[in-house]
Amino acid sequence: MRTDTPQAIYLKDYTPPAFQIETVDLDISIEAGFACVTASLACQRNPAAADPSASLVLNGEDLKLESVRLDGRPLGQGEYVLCADQLMIHAELPDSFTLTTVSTINPDGNTQLSGLYRSKDGYFTQCEAEGFRRITWFLDRPDVMAKYTVTIHADKAQFPVLLGNGNPVGAGDEEGGRHWAKWEDPFRKPSYLFAMVAAKLDMLEDWFVTKSGRKVRCAVYVEPGKLDQCGHAMAALKKSMKWDEDVFGLEMDLDHYMIVAVGDFNMGAMENKGLNIFNTKYVLARPDTATDIDFQNIDRVVAHEYFHNWTGNRVTCRDWFQLSLKEGLTVFRDQQFGMDMHSAGVTRIQEVRTLRTAQFPEDAGPMAHPIRPASYAEINNFYSATVYEKGAEVIRMIHTLIGKDAFRKGMDLYFARHDGQAVTCEDFVAAMQDASGLDLTQFKRWYNQAGTPKLLVRGAYDAATKRFTLDVEQQYPATAYEKRLEAEGRAVARGAYHLPLVIGLLGADGRELPLRLAGESAAADTQRVLSITEDRQQFVFEDLAEAPVPSLLRGFSAPVVLDYPYSQADLTHLMARDSDAFCRWEAGQRLATDILMAGVAAFQAGSGDTLAWVPAGYVDAMRALLGSAFAPGGDPALVAEALMLPSEVVLIEATEGTVDPDAIHAARLALRRHLANELKGPFAAAYHELKIDAPYSPEATQAGARALRNACLSYIAEVDDAESLALLQNQFDSANNMTDSMAALSALAQFASPARDAALERFLAKWKDEALVVDKWLQVQSTSRAPDTGARVRALLDHPAFDIRNPNKVYALIRAFCAANPKHFHAADGSGYALAADAILQLDALNPQVAARIARSFDRWRKFDTQRQSLARMALVRVQGHDKLSRDVAEIVGKALE
Ligand code: ARG
Ligand code: ZN
């Protein structure tokens, strides 16, 4: 029985590898029921190693070793030792030698989906972070970079497509209906970027000519019959290639760039050199199968993996503690791409929402960690919202502080210095510092400190001197992370952050006022970047003829919680007049949060239904907001975002003290219904006005109109009468695209009614053969507020449409229930917690990475009342007490129970 958190490894213990591997020659033969892997590694003693006589210790996991040869000589017993997950070579080793191992592996039984595994009718790989050791014995760490060749053999009829990294250099037939193909990657790479595929696949091909004239073959491989769903991914790839040339001067460096889609995949996608492997979710799309959001996500993930070719592959990570070096930077790059391709304001708002829904809770819970953690037990648990999303915010802050041009120079310098190397976050920051001349020493605290800082800002206007004074204070209390370090007796240095606070000041008429700081001779602009470096700072603005309303943290310039005592009038003013799209949206969210918090208190006191907590002007502000979409220059997509009340998850995070999920749910629903009733006419008018007659396109303008129209629909659905039901039913019946179809289905699914049951049944009957659409069918049910949701989710676990071995299905049914349906997950009787615990245990035996992601649902258990806490603790203890628990899940529940 396991009782505590598994052994951690520490960044401070990093040492260079004892050997380097120059070349890797792999021969992988897919046989019936197993695969045989021969690996020849040209090794060299590493002059930089700490111990010049260290023996060679290779990683391996679930491998059956058949033989070992040293420079061709078979090694006997006594010359090597096999122990748990390691192969140690004790034979005398020259400074350079070739080690050849032959191993067999069982890809058909590989339910972890790490290493080489079978999915449906083919074989695929996932090697990041430590999957290569599940293919062959290796120094499986990113600072060992080698040149790879691979020869793949398989049955020709079953697996006609054989792919590897780099360039195809040979192929042919073999006896018994088999064939082979050889691939050679001209670039050195770490083992986590290795990939191979043997499958039956259809292929879409296109060409991209780089700015220097290299003709790149682009190919998207998908399950047979799905070629009509690859066009969007291909277009996204070509747009990404062009964008990286235009914005960063970075060119594709290979002749082949392949994307392979696979239905069983733990994460989103993987940037293997020249051979990306993608979750089908981020490749396949057709107007009738994918929503506008799906199309956008495909753009972003295709771009993300492509951008990794430079930020990740050409320059990689020295060790896994540096994961944010490639992930934070690459997310930042895909965000910038998204802002250029779609609406910049809406894109930014959606990112902030993700950050608040996923990263802020993480940073406030037991798994809190800085973007570069100092320790971990299982690295797969650190592919986190913090490393990715907050990591991108940190890069964005550098971009804001030094400016776009200096940032580009910094990138150029980073590549000039480190192309072909495995480096650290310091190396990146040093390039940015050297290129810009800005001292980033203090800024580096973002890499070492966990937690979301709070920025307390207070403003005071003095009419006599015409001065407006802003006082800024930062607070950064220790998180679970620092407390753990302290308990381990490890020093925790904490100090003020360096961050950009982008601001403007609005006059009563909504005009942006010129900003002149005390001591300056003239106003520089109407927007400024204030550099915050101290615990407390003061900024005095001169020559202001009236009391301004400050517009703070424009564009969400830093990942902080802002505390400013805005009045409801200020917020309504900002919401209507601020020139910054994010701040307009933010003012509305802030206003709604203030109102909803009062509503929560009212519901707890038994007076929620009176709606006395909704201020008089709120409905008018929302009416004006809706109307603004139709005014000249109006932006329907932005209005759609602003009409959406903060989610229950965001409200849970915003709660100080004990969370009452029922009162939060009740208040939010009451406010939605109130708006729906009061604005019934305007919502209906907008809905009809926004009808789109043009053929479907996922591009921003049309998608924005659709988003607003469907936001109206979701309010109309709250008026639970025959008329609104008819409207929903009509949209569901006549929709010619998945966005509209899902919007209607999701509205119908909120009510336990015959109309819901009929719609769900018809939807499944129509789409039962499209796996990704079946996922939507599961998720629309697992995220429903209908009273029978808990029972339905339990029942769906046994439905033929569900498959616990498929991560997408698990995420749609179980993870969405736990993460996005707080009312039911936190059911007072503990049924949601029990469901999660059962699922975690069942999954852990199959796929620990996926099980650990479900286990994260308990992160915030201590925020709830004592009754819920004891039920959550029971569920966690039950999981922790299971024997043979994976390191992945043990780390999560261990930390949750600390
Ligand atoms: N590097 C991939 C990406 O962000 C993520 C792969 C992570 N996979 C894993 N099993 N940890 O694009
Ligand atoms: Zn990535």
Which residues, at least 6 apart from 157, have a Cβ–Cβ distance to it below 8 Å? 177
- Name the residue range of residue 430's domain: 320-447
* Strand 73-74, strand 80-83: pairing: unpaired
471 and 581, same domain (yes or no): no
Neighbours of 179 (CB within 10 A): 18
Residue whose Cα lies nearest atom 2 of ligand 1: it is 270
Nearest atom in ligand 1 to 305's CA: 12
592 and 462, same domain (yes or no): no
Is the C-beta atom of 329 inside 6 A of ligand 1? no
**Does any domain span residue 800?**
no
559 and 570, same domain (yes or no): no
Number of folded domains that form the chain: 4
**Does any domain span residue 266?**
no
Ligand nearest to the CA of 265: 1
Ligand nearest to the CA of 381: 1
**Does any domain span residue 779?**
no
Ranges in the chain, pLDDT < 50: 1-3
Active site residues: 305
CATH at 46: 2.60.40.1730
**Which of 539, 565, 591 finishes a domain?**
565
CATH at 518: 2.60.40.1840
Is the C-beta atom of 327 inside 6 A of ligand 1? yes
584 and 554, same domain (yes or no): no
Cα of 491 to ligand 1 centre, how many Å?
31
**Which of 718, 742, 767 finishes a domain?**
718
Closest CA to 245 of 206, 210, 216: 210
**Does any domain span residue 560?**
yes
**Does any domain span residue 559?**
yes
Is the C-beta atom of 269 inside 6 A of ligand 1? yes
Q: What is the DSSP letter of 534?
A: S
561 and 584, same domain (yes or no): no
Query: What is the per-residue pLDDT across 202-251, written as a single tens digit (0 to 9) for each?
Result: 999 999 999 999 999 999 999 999 999 999 999 999 999 999 999 999 99
Q: Exposure pattern of 623-639 as b/e (b: 16+ CB <10 Å)?
A: bebbebbeeeeebbbbb
**Which of 680, 695, 718 finishes a domain?**
718
74 and 193, same domain (yes or no): yes
Q: 424 — phi, psi (to 5°)? A: -115, 170
Q: In the numeric block, which tokens belong to residue 159?
A: 């697996």
Cα of 352 to ligand 2 centre, how many Å?
18
590 and 634, same domain (yes or no): yes
592 and 620, same domain (yes or no): yes
Helices and strands in the chain, H and E counts: 31, 31
515 and 632, same domain (yes or no): no
Which pLDDT score, from 0 to 100, does residue 84 have?
A: 84
Cα of 816 to ligand 1 centre, how many Å?
20
Cα of 125 to ligand 1 centre, how many Å?
12
Place of tokens 């965000």: 335
Mutate to test the pocket of ligand 1, among 116, 383, 849 (most ligand atoms within 8 A of CB): 383
**CB-CB contact of 680 with 716 (8 Å):** yes
Is the C-beta atom of 334 inside 6 A of ligand 1? no
CATH at 633: 1.25.50.10
Q: What is the DSSP letter of 223?
A: S
Q: What ipTM was assigned to the predicted interfaces of this complex?
A: 0.98
Residue whose Cα lies nearest atom 8 of ligand 1: it is 128
Ligand nearest to the CA of 329: 2
CATH at 349: 1.10.390.10
Is the C-beta atom of 380 inside 6 A of ligand 1? yes
**Does any domain span residue 172?**
yes
Q: Residue type at 785? A: R
547 and 594, same domain (yes or no): no
**Does any domain span residue 291?**
no
* Strand 256-262, strand 275-279: pairing: parallel
The span from the CA of 501 to the CA of 456, in Å, is: 12
Is the C-beta atom of 384 inside 6 A of ligand 1? no
Query: What is the per-residue pLDDT across 506-534, written as a single tens digit (0 to 9) for each?
Result: 999 999 999 999 999 987 799 999 999 99
34 and 66, same domain (yes or no): yes
* Strand 316-317, strand 561-563: pairing: unpaired
Cα of 849 to ligand 1 centre, how many Å?
11
Which pLDDT score, from 0 to 100, does residue 368 have?
A: 98
**CB-CB contact of 197 with 206 (8 Å):** no
**Does any domain span residue 337?**
yes
Mutate to test the pocket of ligand 1, among 267, 316, 849 (most ligand atoms within 8 A of CB): 267
Which pLDDT score, from 0 to 100, does residue 4 have?
A: 64
431 and 534, same domain (yes or no): no
